[in-house]
Amino acid sequence: MTALAAITNGAITDNRVDLRALHAETNIGETLEQLDRELVGLAPVKRRIQEIAALLLVERARRALGLEAEPPSLHMCFTGNPGTGKTTVARRMAEILHRLGYVRRNHVVSVTRDDLVGQYIGHTAPKTKDVLKRAMGGVLFIDEAYYLYRPENERDYGQEAIEILLQVMEDNRDDLVVILAGYRDRMETFFRSNPGMASRIAHHIDFPDYTGEELFRIAELMLATMHYAVDADARVALKDYIERRMRQPRFSNARSIRNALDRARLRQANRLFAELDRALDREALETITAADIRASRVFTS
């Protein structure tokens, strides 16, 4: 039984396809709901992922009835600042593709330039081919993909990696989906310099920065996952921290918030460690106070 038949035989009756049944059989709704729970905000991104999922579901229904067409191109580009959820969406995209039978494995290989490009003649090809071999049947996620192309360095081997990627993206597009990621302006420059790569990317999805309110909600979700809580004063301090941190250099959205919470946990632990002469109850162990947050250098810079 083919992969297509395996996911459609219960949805086909009398030369008709029941999309609701096909949707239920593939469980892509569950994946989309999980993505919605995992990521705060990002409404345009979630909407685009839903649109791609709908396209692929209908394409499977068409194939089930013999309406053959050129397979849709699935290579993608995710643009946006660090910490906006690109890696998380790539994982969920791989799951959707797998559930619908477009890739063999629910599998993401995440790499950067260093994983693909060698430092001497004859080094790049085997490195790139090894990564492609590991990713085959799933999704290859290349972060900061624009670093593959360095025209200012005549001895750079990034172009060799790009040429290998282009060939595989064309020849194996039924067994590998490549997602390029990076800052929007740099990716646009990269595509202008590499029209062959630009022509192979069908879906461009831009990830907006989070608002202060969304970052606070993200912080609350992170704290709940780690079984921590903030008291009333700490909530005010955390909101103040987020507003200040957003105005500072090298701000990385949710990634910066996670780092801030890790440092607050460190301060809480040291505060509790200084009180070895008393027993600690659950509330003391799980509560982060305003002092734990306001000790950050963000409030003094």
Q: Give the distance from CA 139 to its chain's centroid.
A: 11
| Residue pLDDT, tens place only, 253-270 | 999 999 999 999 999 999
pLDDT at 13 over 80: no
User: If you compute the radius of gyration of the chain from its CA atoms, what whole number of angstroms results?
Assistant: 23
Nearest-angstrom CA–CA distance, 137 and 132? 10
Q: In the predicted model, what is the mean pLDDT of the chain?
A: 91
Mean pLDDT value of segment 178-189:
96
Residue 73 Cα distances to 6, 68, 171, 174, 202, angstroms: 23, 15, 12, 9, 6
| Residue pLDDT, tens place only, 92-113 | 999 999 999 899 999 999 999 9
Nearest-angstrom CA–CA distance, 169 and 167? 6
Nearest-angstrom CA–CA distance, 300 and 287? 23
The pLDDT-based confidence of 3 (bands split at 50, 70, 90) is very low
pLDDT at 86 over 80: yes
Burial of 149-162, coded b for 16+ CB within 10 Å and e otherwise, reads beeeeeebbbbbbb
Nearest-angstrom CA–CA distance, 23 and 32? 12
Q: Kindly state the tokens that stand for 83.
A: 């910490």
The pLDDT-based confidence of 12 (bands split at 50, 70, 90) is low
DSSP element (H, E) containing 30: helix 28-38
Torsion angle defined by CA atoms of residues 258, 263, 269 and 273, in that order, rounded to the nearest 10 degrees: 170
Per residue, the 3-state secondary structure of 168-191, as one string, reads HHHHCCCCCEEEEEECHHHHHHHH
| Residue pLDDT, tens place only, 156-178 | 889 999 999 999 999 998 899 99
Closest CA to 147 of 112, 179, 199, 111: 112
pLDDT at 46 over 60: yes
Residue 214 Cα distances to 14, 17, 208, 253, 294, angstroms: 48, 40, 12, 10, 20
Residue carrying structure tokens 């909101």: 239
The pLDDT-based confidence of 1 (bands split at 50, 70, 90) is very low
Domains of the chain as residue ranges with CATH: 3-207 (3.40.50.300), 212-299 (1.10.8.60)
